[in-house]
Amino acid sequence: MYGKKVKLRFIFLALILVSVILIVFLILQSLKENVVYFQSPSEIKSLIELDKKKIRVGGMVKEKSVFINSNEVNFIITDFKNEINVIYSGAVPNLFAEGKGVVAEGFLKDKNYFSATKILAKHDENYMPPEVKEAIGDK
Amino acid sequence: MLANQIGYYSLILGLLLSVLLCGVSIKDLTRSSKQINKNVLSLSFLQLVFVILSFLSLIFSFINSDFSNETVFNNSHTTKPLFYKISGTWGNHEGSLLLWLLVLTLFIFLFLIKSREQPKKYRILTLLFQQVVIIGFFLFVLMTSNPFNYLFPIPSEGLGLNPILQDPALAIHPPILYLGYVGTSIIFSSSLAAVTQNYVSKQWAQHIKKWVLVSWIFLTIGIMLGSIWAYYELGWGGFWFWDPVENVSLMPWLTLTALLHCIIVLERRAALTSWVVILSITTFTLSMCGTFLVRSGILNSVHTFANDPARGIFILIFLFVLIILSLGIFFVFHKENNKSQNNFFWLSKEVSILINNWFMMYFLSVVLIGTVYPIFLDVISSEKISVGPPFYQKLIAPFLIPFLLFMSLGPRLKWIRSKIEDKNSLIVTFIISVMLTFFIIKNLTTELLFYTVLFSAAFFLFFITLKELFIKKFNNVSQTVAHFGFSLLVLSILFNGILSSEIITNIKIGEKYSYNKSEIFFKKIEEKKESNFNSIIAYFEIKDEKGKIIELKPEIRIYNQPVIITSEADIKTTLLEDKFLVMNLVKGNEFYNIRYQVKPLMVWIWISVLLLSLGGLMSLFKKRYEK
């Protein structure tokens, strides 16, 4: 009924459509797997179930809470309402200091202990990650 | 004081000239003469002079540390070395927009000089479209980001430039990147002009290809400089982090690369006209989004955007106007040229270039979604997320395999209809690649099958382009060099990825840290005073498995204005590997936090990007397209 050319074009279009759908599906799927959520200490306290996935925790490094030995750095992140202990062995950014904002990435051990795999570097002392600003309120 | 006024009024004069230029050139459109009215050229030159004047006066204010200028006050300091006073000019929002404007006006002037053989109406329309962009930028600078704001009373000292920006690579990175970004504006304006004149043709492609190449070369080198800087200055020990700020520069690069390929189809076969125009529009839109996203702070979060709502809203409106204008023009004026030879066989150069474009679009959508989705989610649900490197690696790496294979075969095909020649040697090359790969990586990784295939594809392209470089069978040297550079890039990245090793530890002065036969010895520290920072230099001795000892001296700098601590990594580069050591201070503790990395083939990543650009450069200076 249809010419050969029309048929070819139809197959071509169908092929493109299918591959586009497949690709969109693929992208969304891996997006779901690789997204890291941000939470404040208070939000973690109010969790009902512990998340097994990687998350980010942000807030202030509590004064006089940093302890360091040859393979670990321990400190407390606070949002002035709740706090959480962080255990970290890795490179510490220069702007990491007591009383400054911080974002740590890693896994929750329980509601009070967080094992960090990365502490995010900030390039500017005046800059505070917006997430942190929000987490500690207008202080 | 005076410089401030000169700068400001030059900008206003520049804007007025834009309006005048539009008027004169519209009048000139109706004139029947074959050449453009001389006034248009001189007005365009005058506009360039005023923008240069404005830019120079800002530089002058920076050199003189004239703190009556708000931009200088916010970003400079008297103790800063002269070089960084100058580079501070474009190291901030206002100054960098002025630089944009400078490049915009410079390029349209160059375009007018370089396009004398092109039809008059097309040239004038290009100028007009470019002036629309230029007027938008003038208004943006004058209304929301004036670099010449007064401060009174005049402060005696400035706030200083963020020390991590005080770096030679970062001083030249913005101008070069901008030459690439803004170069795409010419492609944008001229493709719109060509559409309205129904001039999207072989001649047009031949002439605009030069501009595509120029932008592409600058963009490539600009991205590389940024990446080198991030490697040694940020101390994360990598060259690409899939950070949104990096991604926005990669997106126009991807579309520009796609355009670079399909413009050849247009040049040789007069096909794919609409696709070329769409790519031109997209590339410029992405470049503009990139600059604005980075400069407005939207990428850190949507909330910083709200700090200065005027800027954000202006950007959005301007972007929308440009997009609607260009799409409108495209749909109203564009006619598919039916006379073009649109028939080609499935196995032909045209199809292989189309495949390249499809892959580029795929890579683009991955990067785009990964970058924009967090912003989007924050706006609609205020949930905060970040998308990490695994997302990109997982989605891009598998698709590199077919991409590399097509890249090896594509350039060997002929136009219209082709068959694969020289099958035997191809098969032999392929088998060699697979065997070599298997031999090299069999003990190195757990995902053996996947990596074997990926490495083989990269080696395949590597050998095929290498062979062509020596035998010169297909004679298109510039393209072969670029593709060879790409294969080298993929190989170095892959080897770098699976062979890198890292040690992070906290260590005191005089201590030794040992791990599998290697040893890090923290000998001593030394303190030094410079004009704008104090530095702590640490001496480390590192013994590797073979007992070879090298000395690395990472540094911690404490800048005085603003008070910021930075780490300067020390890197020993050889052709085989980089040894990278960076040290951080943990306040109030005797421990120093160190990160020692061995990164194989690091220098080859930069070399291969240079090869890529060299390929572009060779193509630019090639007289005619070789058969």
The reply to whether residue A93 touches residue B584, judged by beta carbons under 8 angstroms, is: yes
Expressed in angstroms, the distance from the first to the final Cα of chain A is: 74
For residue B554, say if its preceding peptide bond is cis, omega within 30 degrees of 0: no
Nearest to B270 by CA among B373, B332, B339: B339
Same-domain status, A24 and A44: no
Indicate which of A24, A35, A37, A131 best probes the interface with B, i.e. most B CBs within 10 Å of its own CB.
A35
Could you say which of A94, A95, A130 has the minimum Cβ distance to residue B301? A130
Q: Which residue of A has its CA nearest to B590?
A: A68
Distance from CA of B9 to the nearest CA of A (A): 33
Q: Is the same domain home to A63 and A107?
A: yes
Residues from chain A contacting residue B345 (CB–CB below 8 Å): none
**pLDDT value for A53:** 83
Same domain, A47 and A97: yes
Whether the predicted pLDDT of A10 surpasses 70: yes
Identify which of A77, A78, A80, A82 has the alpha carbon closest to the alpha carbon of residue A42. A82
Helix (H, G, I), strand (E, B) or coil at A68: strand
DSSP bridge partners of B525: B538
Backbone angles phi, psi at A61, to 5 degrees: -80, 125
pLDDT of residue B358: 92
Q: Check whether A115 has a pLDDT greater than 60.
A: yes
Domain match, A104 and A90 both:
yes
Q: DSSP states of B32-96 as a string?
A: --SSPPHHHHHHHHHHHHHHHHHHHHHHHHHHTT-TTBHHHHHH--TTS-HHHHHHGGGSSHHHH
Contact A91 B584 (CB under 8 A): yes
> Structure pTM?
0.90
Looking at chain B from residue 224 to 253, which residues have their Cβ under 8 Å from any Cβ of chain A? 234-236
Distance of CA A38 to the CA centre of its chain: 5
Q: Give the mean pLDDT of A65-72.
A: 81
Q: Verify that A52 and A79 share a domain, yes or no.
A: yes
Give the whole-angstrom CA distance, residue B284 versus residue B264: 19
Assigned token pair, B85:
């006073």
Pairing mode, if any, of strands B549-552 and A83-88? Answer: unpaired
Instruction: Please answer yes or no on whether A92 and B564 come within 8 Å at the CB atom.
Output: no
Does A130 score more than 70 pLDDT?
A: no
**A53 lies in the same domain as A7:** no
**Owning domain of residue A82:** 37-135
CA angle B488, B491, B496 (to 5 degrees): 120
Which chain B residue has its CA at the smallest distance from A39's CA?
B384
CB contacts under 8 A, B 517-546 vs A, are none
List Cα–Cα distances, B296 to B104, B121, B307, B316, in angstroms. Answer: 20, 37, 9, 11
Cα–Cα dist A1/B331, whole Å: 33
pLDDT, average across residues A48-76 = 83
Q: Whose CA is closest to B111, among B175, B174, B191?
A: B191
* Per-residue confidence (pLDDT) for residue B123, from 0 to 100: 93
Beta bridge partners of A101: A60
Residue B305: the pLDDT is 36
| Letter string b/e over residues B222-258, b meaning 16 or more CB atoms within 10 A of that residue's CB | bbbbbbbbbbbbbbbbbbbebebebbbbbbbbbbbbb
Neighbours of B544 (CB within 10 A): 13
Q: Are B183 and B291 in contact (CB under 8 A)?
A: no
A57/A14 same-domain check: no
Same domain, A122 and A64: yes
Helix (H, G, I), strand (E, B) or coil at B559: strand
pLDDT of residue B444: 77
Nearest CA in chain A to B301: A130
Phi, psi for B202 (deg, rounded to 5): -60, -45
Specify the number of domains making up chain A. Answer: 2
Kindly list the distances between the CA atom of residue B29 and the CA atoms of B107, B126, B128, B191, in Å, as whole numbers in the listed order. Answer: 21, 12, 11, 18
User: Other C-beta atoms within 10 Å of B202: how many?
Assistant: 13
pLDDT at A80 over 50: yes
Chain A nearest-CA distance from B470, in A, is 39
Compute the residue count for chain A: 139
Chain A CA closest to residue B368: A27
Which has more pLDDT, A133 or B140?
B140
Q: Which two tokens stand for residue B11?
A: 């900008």
Minimal CA separation from B400 to chain A, in Å: 15
Q: Transcribe B314-351 into DSSP letters.
A: HHHHHHHHHHHHHHHHHHHH----TTS-----SSSHHH
Nearest CA to B95 out of B72, B68, B63 is that of B72
For residue B436, what are the contacts with CB-CB under 8 A and spacing of at least 6?
B459
Which amino acid is it at B133? V
Q: Of the candidates A56, A89, A134, which has its C-beta nearest B504's C-beta?
A: A89
CB of A4 within 8 Å of a chain B CB? The answer is no
Q: For the residues of B422-469, what is the DSSP string, one character each?
A: -HHHHHHHHHHHHHHHHHHHTTT-S-HHHHHHHHHHHHHHHHHHHHHH
CB contact under 8 A, B506 and A125: no
User: Please, is B462 exposed, middle or buried when counting C-beta atoms within 10 Å of its C-beta (0-12, 13-18, 19+)?
Assistant: buried
Nearest to A27 among B365, B390, B564 (CB): B365
In terms of domains, do A30 and A49 share one?
no
- Positions of chain B with pLDDT lower than 70, given as ranges: 235-237, 295-309, 312, 336-343, 472-475, 586-589, 623-627
Looking at residue B306, what is its pLDDT?
Answer: 38
Q: Does B563 touch chain A (CB under 8 A)?
A: yes
What pLDDT, on the 0 to 100 scale, is given for residue B304?
A: 38
Task: State the count of interchain CB pairs (< 8 A) between A and B.
Answer: 107
- Which residues, numbered 345 to 364 in chain B, qualify as contacts with chain A under a Cβ-Cβ cut-off of 8 Å? 362
Chain A positions in Cβ-Cβ contact with residue B593 (cut-off 8 Å): 68, 73, 91-92
A99 inside 8 A of chain B by CB: no
Q: A74 and A27, same structural domain?
A: no
Q: What does R_g of chain B's alpha carbons equal in angstroms?
A: 27
In Å, how far is B148's CA from the nearest CA of chain A?
Answer: 23
Within an 8 Å CB–CB cutoff, is residue B301 touching chain A? yes
Query: A27 and chain B: CB distance < 8 Å anywhere?
Result: yes
- The answer, for A43 touching chain B at a CB cutoff of 8 Å, is no
ipTM for this prediction: 0.79
Q: Tell me the sheet residues that pair with B492.
A: none
